[in-house]
Amino acid sequence: MEPAFPLFPVLTVALLLAIPPAHASSKMDNRIEASAKKSYVFEAYLKGDEIQIQSRDGVVTLTGSVLEESHKSLAQETVAELPGVKKVDNQLEVRGGSPAVNSDIWLATKVKTTLLFHRNVNAVKTEVSVKDAIVTLRGDAASQAQKELTTEYAKDVTGVKDVKNEMTVSGASTSAASTKKHKTVGEKIDDASITAQVKMTLLYHRSTSAVSTKVKTKHGVVTVSGNAGNAAEKSLVTKLASDVNGVKKVTNRMTVSASK
């Protein structure tokens, strides 16, 4: 016995309703590509790189070349945090190849990158050279406290054996100007860029590199969760994350593992 109404039109309508409109996906992909290019990370750190961004239904492919290995990771971490992104296929290549792990060039790059992410040091005015895993810092520091903090951050980079700080302290007036500048820039930093910087910061510092953390940012407020080995480790995560460019506040929800 045949049905009173043909099933074909009903099935067709159901299928059409189940398939999202092509223009909706296209708009989302265009928004992802535009947001990545306008992000703080891409405009501040990756402007010298040749990165092509292509999104298809939320799957983003990165192609082209970057100057340093750290830029490859930074681009991926930033794009992965953008709304609508489901997956990132990172096909970026490092120009001239990547330096050997723990080589002096590799360490110098890591130290420079680490200093860039922190607002209470001045990476632009800090010269970094490395020989036999010993870092030498030269340039200008706004205060003695900034000079000491630069030493602390450089010394905590994985692979660094020691730090010689030959920086010159230039004065408090520069410090005030630097702080004002950072606040101005910080207000413009997007959440995806903040999250990427925090993740890279925790990875590069040896004191937190092995800590299991999840990082989320909303309106400049960073929330970290996961496991810390002890209270000191948890406190250090908060300290490092709080000093990252653009971070307004850190909420630390990490669990301290019970001591054996």
pLDDT tens digits for range 142-154: 999 999 999 999 9
- 0.85 cut: is pTM over it? no
Give dist(CA 208, CA 242) in Å, integer.
14
pLDDT digit string, tens, across residues 152-166 = 999 999 899 999 999
**pLDDT digit string, tens, across residues 53-75:** 999 999 999 999 999 888 999 99
DSSP helix/strand/coil, 2: coil
Q: In DSSP terms, which residues pair with 104 in a beta bridge?
A: none
Beta-strand runs (E) in the chain:
50-56, 59-66, 87-90, 93-94, 126-131, 134-141, 162-165, 168-169, 212-218, 221-228, 249-252, 255-256
* C-alpha 144: how far from chain center: 28
Residue 186, CA distances (Å) to 63, 215, 220 in order: 28, 18, 9
- Strand 134-141 versus strand 126-131 pairing type: antiparallel
Report which of residues 18 and 174 the model is more confident about. Answer: 18
Q: Looking at residue 2, what is its pLDDT? A: 55
Cα→Cα distances 107→68, 92, 162, 219, 225, Å: 12, 21, 12, 33, 28
Please give the DSSP secondary-structure letter assigned to residue 157.
B
